[in-house]
């Protein structure tokens, strides 16, 4: 029996590391990868809870609906789909930016700066 | 029996004339403007005359009861207080309305000739008609509030007309001075009205006087409520009627054109204060202390102004101080509770003072703008018609029988002598003032019309604009334009008689100055004193409601002597005042005709005193030091620099600066730096999640 | 017992990979670290009985998305990161904010340890493909279709953005 909270703490750690990468790295692509890391951390949370609810099946929500543990898996599925789409578009944007600015340093992409 | 006279039309007609001339007059020719102005004024006079005829008491009873009240509707309704648009016709307002419209009409005619060469012709007549509207509202109103509208309005018209030559600084300043000094009096008037509302709940004459009569108030022994109200009203009257201490605006008001001085500052506007006190006699009769103060002020003003008139050299200024002095007489009469005498003198004064001013205007016009009497002289052969009318007017104001001024002045002095609130001391002062009046008026007469003719070179060629010579004296406000005069009948070089359009009204006024006193010939001289009997229903009855003589309320036991005086006494009093007038004439003849070098010798002997009188006792300087300078300093330092600049501008500018500052700070969020955007997003997300956790934990 | 040991091992690998992602200078090293993280996450999913999800994690995430990342890195020939001054804001408010949040979450979780209970290796019929498919195509059909449209849009967007001018 692994306490559920351990999974959740792991998810939190991964998420925080993702945010740090998002804030502190200078390469655009690395920033993107940090975003993917964040999404993965959240996926872990979903799967952990899916298992949890499945084990405590039959509990009802306050609104009276029953909880199906598998819906956590379905949600992870959707997260992955969205992550894929986002990665595709985002990388296309990065390539477009790279064409004009010739750099992948995020601090150089500052045409809006006063 | 009471038909509707449509009294409201009487003030309205001049207003229509003012509106037409004011809005469209710029495009009219002079003849059109003057026709409109004269037409509406004459119509007003006609309607007023008709109203008087309808109300005239006949043997078979009047055609309508007096007072005749017409209400057009409610103006203000606030709780239990209401003020209507109402018009009130009784004997007092009948006299006033006839004087105002009649003398006003004559002066309008005169002004058509006088102002024919001036610019702003349409503007002048628009203002003049506007003045007539307000003045008629004042005398015809049936409640104090509507009267106050007229009161303020005539102050406005006076300001506009005094400052008619607004390009001149002195004229603009004089207009401001008149208006501001009047406002001080108006403030007191307002306080008086508020006190009336507070105590009686209404300002309508009818209701107010009835309440006072029914209340059976005893005359107040001390400084009671009614005395304070009466004093406030009196202070308002001192502002409008140029009494001490608020007279300082009237001499400066001579900056306006001469018809303005005649109409407003001699015949009509300045008499508004007297009218108001006469109208409020019910209140004053119950406050003997207030009456005493009125008499004292009138007395002081009369002699004070007369002494100042002795030393003036500008012909219009002499007349201005004379006006102040004569108004002092009227005030004194009111203070002696002889209201009908005051109104009588008001009427005769309107005649001869208007005549004096218009005649002076004729002289000035003849001399192409010269106003300094020292430069005049020997004009009686050159402008004979003006000379004769001025002679009649001078004799009238000096109070020599059988001209008008004698009867009215004598009645006042007689009442003052026997009055409990005035008394013999004031009678003595009044007689001395009469002597001084006669002196300075005949001085004016001698200096202007007698003596040698000054060489014409001093007057300046009348073909050019007579600026250099004439303007150097007292700023000639009557300087004509650069064009030549249309009437070229100058056999004498330069000096010419005025045209008939100006002389005509002078003749009418001269006739009135001669016969105008005959409605008040007192009993001891064999007359019937018609005017006092005419005004008796107004003055004697404590309540003005109901036209017939209601039972006389016994509040006046001290105001009019219950028993008639012995005729010997009356003859003595009359003789004394005539004697004083003749003394004045003698001295003037001595100093200004027989030995013209004498005045200079006298003034050099009493040089200091003479200087003080010449500078009007330094009153203007005193006021400037006491009131104007501190007020200006307060305005500049506290209100302008302190509040306006620091606080208000500071707030507004500060709001702008603060906005700029906040904007500057907020601008950092949109820095164009992607990493900072990322940071803000992370922070925002963390804040939201923390909030949700907090909600869940709670 | 086994469960706990396995979890700790894979958890440590995850964290190590994530830290390596942050520490590395060259983006290709970061990409490969991320692949390691995803793989270990897939193993943790297996521990939790999510067979299907673990499979698609490896196939889609590690196999397609990360490959895409590596392609782009190599295409753009991104070099090592340079030093450049960034925004002060990131250090000032971002880092502390997230730190606080993470600590807060962790603390709450640990506090509520007893209430949350535990997770065990699930029953064998949990997480199978068949029930997931039933859920996906019955209860969650609408979101499924919408995501397919989303992918279509993303493809179109990527194509448009990737075109060269002219």
Contact A110 B674 (CB under 8 A): yes
**Packing angle, helices B225-240 and B144-162, rounded to 10:** 20
Instruction: List all residues of chain C from 106 to 165 with a beta carbon under 8 Å from chain B.
Output: 108
B: neighbours with 3+ CB pairs under 8 Å? A, C
Count of alpha carbons within 13 angstroms of residue B420, beta-carbon side: 12
For range B308-315, the mean pLDDT = 86
Phi and psi angles of residue A27, each rounded to the nearest 5 degrees, phi first: -90, 135
The residue ranking higher by pLDDT, B562 or B675, is B675
Percent of chain B with pLDDT over 70: 86
Tell me the ipTM for this assembly: 0.87
Neighbouring chains of A at 3+ CB pairs under 8 Å are B, C
Check CB contact under 8 Å for C105 and B671.
no
B471 has a pLDDT exceeding 60:
no
**Residue C95 touches partner A, C-beta closer than 8 Å:** yes
Chain-wide mean pLDDT for chain B? 80
Start-to-end CA distance of chain C, whole Å, equals 63
Task: Reduce the DSSP state of residue C122 to 3 states and report it.
Answer: coil
The Cα B620–Cα C6 span in angstroms is 109
Per the model's pLDDT, the better-predicted residue between B220 and B308 turns out to be B308
The pLDDT tens digits of the residues spanning B385-405 come to 888 889 999 999 888 888 888
Interface test with A, best of C22, C99, C140, C166 (most A CBs within 10 A): C22
**Per-residue pLDDT band at C31 (split at 50, 70, 90):** very high
Say which residue the tokens 């807060």 belong to. Answer: C104
Per-residue confidence (pLDDT) for residue B139, from 0 to 100: 92
What is the DSSP code (8-state) at residue A60?
B
What does DSSP assign to residue B369?
Answer: S
The mean pLDDT of B177-198, rounded to a whole number, is 91
Structure tokens at B272: 């508004």
What would the two tokens of residue B406 be?
A: 């004698």
pLDDT in the model for residue A39: 96
B489 vs B482: CA distance, rounded Å: 19
CB count within 10 Å of CB B345 equals 29
- Yes or no, beta carbons of B682 and A114 under 8 Å apart: no
Q: Does the pLDDT value for residue B95 go beyond 80? A: yes
3-state secondary structure (DSSP) of residue B69 = strand
Q: What is the 3-state secondary structure (H, E, C) of B262-274?
A: HHHHHHCHHHHHH
Cα separation, A91 vs C78, whole angstroms: 13
Q: Say if residue B529's pLDDT is above 80.
A: no
Q: Measured between alpha carbons, how far is B527 from B519 in angstroms, rounded to an integer?
A: 8
Nearest CA in chain B to C101: B686
Confirm or reject contact between C93 and chain B (CB < 8 A): yes
CB pairs under 8 A between B and C: 44
Using DSSP's 3-state secondary structure scheme, residue A110 falls into coil
User: Would the pLDDT of B185 be above 70?
Assistant: yes
SS3 content of chain A, % helix, strand, coil (to 5): 75, 5, 20
Residue B186 or residue B587, greater confidence? B186
Confidence of residue C29 (pLDDT cuts 50, 70, 90): very high
Q: Which one is predicted more confidently, B449 or C39?
A: C39
pLDDT attached to residue B135 = 93
Q: What angle do CA B624, B626, B630 make, to 5 degrees?
A: 85
What confidence score (pLDDT) does residue A57 get? 65
List of long-range contacts for A25-28, beta carbons under 8 Å, 24+ apart: A25/C22, A25/C81, A26/A105, A26/A106, A26/A107, A26/B675, A26/C81, A26/C82, A26/C84, A26/C86, A27/A104, A27/A105, A27/A106, A27/C27, A27/C78, A27/C81, A28/A94, A28/A97, A28/A104, A28/A105, A28/A106, A28/A109
Q: Cα separation of B116 and B30, whole Å?
A: 8
For position B657, what pLDDT does the model report? 92
Q: Are strands C118-119 and B81-89 parallel, antiparallel or unpaired?
A: unpaired
Residue B63 has what pLDDT?
Answer: 60
Reported as a single tens digit per residue, the pLDDT across B266-294 is 778 788 999 999 988 888 888 888 888 99
B683 vs C108: CB contact, 8 Å cut-off?
A: no
Assess whether pLDDT exceeds 80 at residue B325: yes
Element containing residue B158 per DSSP (H, E): helix B144-162
- In our burial notation (b when 16+ CB lie closer than 10 A, e otherwise), range B308-342 reads bbbbbebbbbbbbbbbbbbbbbbbbbbbbbbbbbb
pLDDT value at residue B57: 64
- The pLDDT, as a whole number, for residue A113 is 65
Indicate if the pLDDT at residue C145 is higher than 90: yes
**Structure-token match 């400037």, residue found:** B624
Q: List the single best residue of B663, B675, B683, B687 to mutate versus A (max A Cβ within 10 A).
A: B675
Q: For residue A68, is it left (φ>0), alpha (ψ between -120 and 50) or beta? A: beta
At A35 the pLDDT is 94
The answer to whether B413 and B403 are in contact (CB under 8 A) is no
The residue ranking higher by pLDDT, B603 or B424, is B424
Question: Which of B42-46, B401-405, B599-603, B675-679 has maximum average pLDDT?
Answer: B42-46
Average pLDDT over residues B652-659: 90
pLDDT at B481 over 60: no
CATH topology for A4-108 is: Helix Hairpins (1.10.287)
Distance CA A46, CA C162 (A): 34
- Tokens read off for C119: 């997770």
Stretch A72-98: mean pLDDT: 92
The residues spanned by each domain of chain B are 9-459+470-479+495-545+566-613, 615-667, 673-698
Q: Which residues pair with B372 in a beta bridge?
A: B314
pLDDT band at B544 (very low <50, low <70, confident <90, very high): very low
| Pick from B457-466, B654-663, C14-23: least confident | B457-466
Cα–Cα dist B9/B14, whole Å: 9
- Of the two residues B581 and B476, the one the predictor is more confident about is B581
Distance CA B8, CA C79 (A): 100
How far, in Å, CA of B310 to CA of B584, rounded?
Answer: 11
C-alpha angle with apex B42: B38 to B47, nearest 5 degrees? 155
| Whole-angstrom distance, CA of residue B416 vs CA of residue B89 | 29
Tens-place pLDDT, residues B255-265:
888 999 888 87
Kindly state whether B698 is in contact with chain C, defined as any CB-CB distance less than 8 angstroms: no
Q: Do C110 and A5 touch (CB under 8 A)?
A: yes
Reported as a single tens digit per residue, the pLDDT across A61-76 is: 676 666 677 888 999 9
User: Among B679, B686, B693, whose Cβ lies nearest the Cβ of C89?
Assistant: B679
Tell me B484's DSSP state: P
Least confident of B57-71, B241-255, B673-687: B57-71
- List CB contacts (< 8 A) between C98 and chain B: 682, 686
Sign, CA torsion B123/B125/B128/B132: negative
Strand partners, B77: B82
Q: Work out the burial of residue B247: count CB atoms within 10 Å of its CB; fewer than 13 is exposed, 13-18 middle, 19 or more buried.
A: buried
Minimum mean pLDDT among B7-21, B353-367, B636-650: which range?
Answer: B636-650
Show the tokens assigned to B175: 């207009």
Nearest to residue B253, comparing CAs of B237, B235, B269, B275? B269
Confidence band of B61 (pLDDT split at 50, 70, 90) = low
Contacts 24+ apart (CB under 8 A), B111-115: B111/B257, B111/B259, B112/B34, B112/B37, B112/B38, B112/B501, B113/B498, B113/B499, B113/B501, B113/B502, B114/B257, B114/B258, B114/B259, B114/B361, B114/B365, B114/B502, B115/B257, B115/B259
Most trustworthy range by pLDDT among B157-171, B217-231, C118-132: B157-171
Q: Determine contact, residues C130/A70, Cβ cutoff 8 Å.
A: no
Contact between residue C87 and residue A111 where contact means Cβ atoms under 8 Å apart? no
Among B607, C31, C151, which residue's Cα sits nearest to residue A88?
Answer: C151
Give the up-direction half-sphere exposure of residue C12: CA atoms within 13 A in the CB hemisphere: 5
Query: Are A113 and B679 an interchain contact pair (Cβ–Cβ within 8 Å)?
Result: no
Please, are residues B17 and B128 in contact by the beta-carbon 8 Å criterion? no
Instruction: Report the pLDDT value the prediction gives residue B553, as an integer from 0 to 100.
Output: 32
* HEC sequence for B554-616: CCCCCCCCCCCCCHHHHHHHHHHHHHHHHHHHHHHHHHHHHCCCHHHHHHHHCHHHHHHHHCH
**CATH says C2-79+90-127 is which class?**
mainly alpha
pLDDT at B115 over 60: yes
Please report the pLDDT score of residue B497 as a whole number: 77
* H-type alpha helices, B163-256: 169-200, 205-215, 225-240, 249-252
From B657's Cα to the closest Cα of chain C, the distance in A is: 26
Q: Count CB neighbours of B442 within 10 A.
A: 24
Round to whole Å and give the CA distance between C100 and C102. 6
Over residues B126-158, the pLDDT tens digits come to 999 999 999 999 999 989 999 999 999 999 999
Percent of chain A with pLDDT over 90: 43
B434 close to B409: Cβ distance less than 8 angstroms: yes
Q: At what angle do helices B9-24 and B30-55 cross, to 10 degrees?
A: 180
Tokens encoding B155: 């102050």
Q: What percent of chain B has pLDDT over 90?
A: 16
Q: What ranges do the domains of chain A cover? A: 4-108
Is the pLDDT score of B549 beyond 60? no
Helix (H, G, I), strand (E, B) or coil at C49: coil
Q: Which residues of C touch A56 (CB under 8 A)?
A: 117
Does the pLDDT of residue C90 top 70, yes or no?
no
Residue B478: strand pairing partners: none
Report strand pairing: A2-3 vs B81-89. Answer: unpaired
pLDDT at B555 over 50: no
* Residue C118, helix vs strand vs coil: strand
DSSP notation for A66-84: BP-TTHHHHHHHHHHHHHH
Give residue B490's pLDDT band: very low, low, confident or very high (50, 70, 90): very low
For residue B630, count CB atoms less than 10 angstroms from its CB and return exposed for 0-12, middle for 13-18, buried for 19 or more. exposed
pLDDT, one tens digit per residue, over A21-73 is 888 888 889 999 999 999 999 999 999 988 888 877 666 667 666 667 788 89
Rg of chain A (C-alpha set):
19
Is C118–A3 a contact, with Cβ atoms under 8 angstroms apart?
Answer: yes
Closest among B219, B234, B495 to B362, alpha carbons compared = B495
């Amino acid at each position: 029996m692994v306490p559920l909270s351990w999974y959740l703490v792991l998810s939190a750690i991964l998420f925080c590391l993702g945010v740090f990468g998002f804030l502190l790295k200078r390469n655009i692509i690395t920033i993107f990868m940090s975003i993917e890391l964040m999404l993965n951390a959240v996926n872990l949370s979903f799967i952990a809870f899916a298992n949890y609810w499945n084990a405590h099946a039959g509990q009802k929500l306050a609104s009276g609906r029953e909880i199906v543990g598998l819906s956590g898996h379905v949600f992870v599925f959707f997260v992955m789909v969205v992550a894929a789409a986002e990665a595709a578009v985002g990388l296309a944007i990065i390539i477009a930016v790279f064409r004009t600015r010739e750099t992948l340093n995020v601090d150089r992409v500052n045409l809006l700066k006063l | 029996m009471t038909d509707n006279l449509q009294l409201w039309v009487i003030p309205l007609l001049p207003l229509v004339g003012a509106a037409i001339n004011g809005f469209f007059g710029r495009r009219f020719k002079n003849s059109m403007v003057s026709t409109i102005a004269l037409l509406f004024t004459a119509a007003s006079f006609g309607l007023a005359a008709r109203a008087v005829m309808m109300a005239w008491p006949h043997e078979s009873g009047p055609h309508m009861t007096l007072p005749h009240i017409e209400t057009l509707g409610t103006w203000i309704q606030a709780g239990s207080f209401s003020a209507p648009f109402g018009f009130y016709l009784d004997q007092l307002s009948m006299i006033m309305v006839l004087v105002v419209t009649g003398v006003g009409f004559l002066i309008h005619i005169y002004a058509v000739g006088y102002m024919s060469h001036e610019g702003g012709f349409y503007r002048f007549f628009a203002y003049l008609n506007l003045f007539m509207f307000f003045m008629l509202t004042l005398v015809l109103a049936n409640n104090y509030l509507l009267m106050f509208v007229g009161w303020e309005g005539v102050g406005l018209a006076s300001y506009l007309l005094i400052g008619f030559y607004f390009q001149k600084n002195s004229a603009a300043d004089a207009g401001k001075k008149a208006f501001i000094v009047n406002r001080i009096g108006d403030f007191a008037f307002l306080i008086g009205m508020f006190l009336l509302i507070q105590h009686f709940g209404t300002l309508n004459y009818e209701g107010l006087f009835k309440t006072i009569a029914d209340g059976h108030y005893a005359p107040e022994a001390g400084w009671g409520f009614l005395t304070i109200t009466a004093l406030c009203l009196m202070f308002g009257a001192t502002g409008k009627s140029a009494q001490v201490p608020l007279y300082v605006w009237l001499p400066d008001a001579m900056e306006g054109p001469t018809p303005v001085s005649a109409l407003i500052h001699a015949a009509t506007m300045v008499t508004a204060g007297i009218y108001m006190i006469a109208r409020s006699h019910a209140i004053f009769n119950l406050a003997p202390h207030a009456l005493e103060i009125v008499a004292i002020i009138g007395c002081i003003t009369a002699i004070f102004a007369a002494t100042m008139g002795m030393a003036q050299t500008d012909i219009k200024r002499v007349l201005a101080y004379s006006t102040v002095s004569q108004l002092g007489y009227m005030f004194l009469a009111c203070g002696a509770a002889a209201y009908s005498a005051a109104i009588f003198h008001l009427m005769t004064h309107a005649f001869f003072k208007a005549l004096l001013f218009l005649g002076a205007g004729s002289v000035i016009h003849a001399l192409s703008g010269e106003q300094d009497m020292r430069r005049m002289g020997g004009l009686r052969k050159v402008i004979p018609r003006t000379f004769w009318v001025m002679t009649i007017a001078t004799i009238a104001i000096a109070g020599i029988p059988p001209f008008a001024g004698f009867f009215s002045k004598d009645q006042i002095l007689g009442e003052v002598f026997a009055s409990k609130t005035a008394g013999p001391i004031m009678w003595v002062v009044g007689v001395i003032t009469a002597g001084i009046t006669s002196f300075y008026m005949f001085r004016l007469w001698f200096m202007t019309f007698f003596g040698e003719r000054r060489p014409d070179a001093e007057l300046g060629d009348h073909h050019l604009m007579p600026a250099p010579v004439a303007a150097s004296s007292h700023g000639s406000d009557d300087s004509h334009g650069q064009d030549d005069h249309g009437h070229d009948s100058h056999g004498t070089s330069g000096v010419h008689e005025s045209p008939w359009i100006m002389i005509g009204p002078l003749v009418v006024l001269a006739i009135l100055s001669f016969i105008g006193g005959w409605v008040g010939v007192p009993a001891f001289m064999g007359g019937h004193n018609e005017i006092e009997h005419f005004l008796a229903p107004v003055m004697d009855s404590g309540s003005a409601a109901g036209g017939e003589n209601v039972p006389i309320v016994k509040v006046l036991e001290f105001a009019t002597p219950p028993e008639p005086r012995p005729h010997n006494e009356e003859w003595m009093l009359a003789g004394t005042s005539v004697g004083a007038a003749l003394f004045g004439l003698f001295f003037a003849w001595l100093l200004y005709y027989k030995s013209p070098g004498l005045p200079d010798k006298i003034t050099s002997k009493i040089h200091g005193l003479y200087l003080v009188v010449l500078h009007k006792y330094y009153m203007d300087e005193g006021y400037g030091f006491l009131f104007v300078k501190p007020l200006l300093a307060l305005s500049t330092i506290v209100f302008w620099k302190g509040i306006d600049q620091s606080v208000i501008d500071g707030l507004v500018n500060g709001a702008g600066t603060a906005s700029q500052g906040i904007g500057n700070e907020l601008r950092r969020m949109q820095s164009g730096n992607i990493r900072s955007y990322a940071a803000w997003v992370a922070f925002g997300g963390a804040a939201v999640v923390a909030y949700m956790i907090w909600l869940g934990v709670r | 017992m086994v469960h706990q040991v396995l979890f700790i091992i894979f958890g440590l690998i995850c964290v190590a990979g994530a830290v390596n992602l942050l520490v590395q200078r060259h983006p290709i090293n970061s990409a490969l670290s991320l692949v390691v993280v995803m793989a270990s996450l897939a193993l943790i999913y297996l521990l939790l009985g999510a067979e299907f999800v673990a499979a698609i994690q490896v196939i889609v995430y590690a196999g397609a998305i990360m490959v895409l990342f590596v392609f782009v890195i190599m295409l753009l020939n991104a070099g090592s990161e340079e030093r450049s001054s960034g925004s002060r804001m990131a250090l000032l408010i971002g880092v502390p904010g997230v730190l606080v949040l993470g600590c807060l979450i962790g603390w709450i979780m640990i506090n509520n340890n007893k209430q949350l209970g535990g997770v065990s290796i699930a029953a064998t019929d949990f997480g199978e493909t068949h029930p997931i498919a039933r859920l996906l195509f019955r209860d969650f059909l609408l979101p499924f279709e919408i995501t397919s449209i989303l992918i279509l849009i993303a493809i179109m967007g990527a194509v448009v953005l990737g075109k060269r001018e002219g």
